[in-house]
Structure 1
Amino acid sequence: MLYNSKSDWTASQSKSIMLFGMSGLGKTYISELLRNNGDWFHYSVDYRIGTRYMGEHIADNFKKEAMSNPFLANLLQTDAIYISANMKFSDLSPLSSYLGKPGDPSKGGIPFKEYLRRQRLHRDAETNAMLDTVHFIQRAKSLYDYDKFVCDTSGSIVEIVDCNDKNDNVMKTLSQYVLPVWIEGTEEHTEELVKRFIKSPKPMYYNEKFLIECWDNFLKEKSVSESKVDPNEFIIWGYRKLLENRSPRYRKIAKDWGITLRASEVATVRSADEFTSLISANLEG
């Protein structure tokens, strides 16, 4: 690990961490808290995905929808209007809206084949955005003189790395520059995440093999054809399965590459000093 002991962490003027785990357990909360402290650089992987790697795809999707409206189509064709995504750290909805949901077009769904294509684009984008962490650590120091860096990962990091491969390119590269920190939830947290998701289901990124298995099982279980699937029903159905599928892989990454913090502990943190102390308390030696 980058910091092998409490003393290593405490003595180091430069501190670089990578927060990972399911969305909704505190990654962005802590990242924003550290950034607002004034001496931490906040690198949002989702923001990087949406702006650097998926921005053109997202904007083209908006334009495609606009072209179905004769009034807007004419304005687009004459360059009278400009359409782009307004991506923000606090609002990544343009990215999730592009991923979409498979199923009945009349209910906002897209064909499963197109859904897979977009998932593959996201996979490549997330892999590149994760590897860009190294560049941004160097950039944060050389341009802005930041010695402290937090990488705020996507919940789907476990889908783009092989947790069982000690030579996984992404993890092997990043472990030289950041301390991976898993924010671990409880069963109660899982139930709360599911409740939130049911109220506001959003597109998710899946490992392709797992996604195809879920899709096939859903079609069989519900006795429904692809074009008649309720998009929200499918992603809600698959969400708990996704949580259960990811949890042991998060744990494996933390065991082999980093440390684990309990979400309940993270929720009580109110300052950068409190968080760095929490990291120290969970390092050995």
Structure 2
Amino acid sequence: MFKKIQLFFFFLLTSILPVNSAVDLPVGNFLQDSVKIGQPVRYMLCYKHVPNQEIILPDSTFSYAPFEFVSKTYYPTRTRGNISTDSVIYTLRTFDLGKVQRLQIPVLILQNGTTQPLKPAPDSIFLQELVTLLPSDSLMLKANTQLIPVNPHFNYPYAFVALGVILLLALGVWGIFGRRIIINFNLYKLKNDHNAFVSRYNTHIERFNRVQSLENIEKAITLWKNYLTRLEGSAINSFTTKEIAQFYGEDEDVTTALKLFDKAIYGNMLSDESSETIVAFYLLHHFADRRYEFIKNQTRYVAVAR
């Protein structure tokens, strides 16, 4: 029921915007006047443009500072006459203590292979203060001057001897097994991280099989990029599709999968080509498995070589 009310309000708001807004700035507004620390707040972004203009609305990888991204709800492109309307509602939250917090989420215009940001007018929201400072003269301090005698009984010489023996034993064990311990610990972290990634990634595949949505695709790609960033030690989560393909030497699995995902997300061809999207999910899964095995074997080889 809440989502239906929200959808009605949103379409009502976008329908009363001026028709000539295709050449104007996007419209971005908070849907409430104030917010509490950590409480979700909704922000509406709407842009009217000519039908043949390609645009991108920011996703979870965008920086919403001073807010944090929670979720978003896309609404299908609506075309009336020569004007198309794209709109989205972001759910955000803030932990910033500023009394007035401002936000300006841009629309990205695709032109000649590059993106140009087009920003709406900034909108602000007030932070509700739940704790007020008390005047210092209203605080009453209770004095407790009753002292309890304490007689220390500690044998420092024996303690230092015991500490020295423990330290020597620890250094001896580390000298003999230290490198092996480090390698095994790194392998253990690699395995746990990979298992966690596979579990979460398979969840996104299952959700997509049930409900084919762009949100599942974007979350899966973000998860995949963040995992490879940790695995490779490179900022892959900040790379574009072309840069990722180049980084991996135009690997067929990566190139094909990312192109299929771009086709689904930016080409609005999700419903017609859902089988291709499933293939893209498994191609990225297979590639992540291969990179994990490569890094794992490389870590073991370093241990044997030394």
After TM superposition, the score normalised by the length of structure 2 is 0.24
Pick 1 or 2: higher relative contact order, CA cutoff 8 A, min separation 6.
Answer: 1
Instruction: Point out the structure with max Rg over C-alpha.
Output: 2
After TM superposition, the score normalised by the length of structure 1 is 0.26
Larger helix fraction of residues: 1
Larger strand fraction of residues: 2
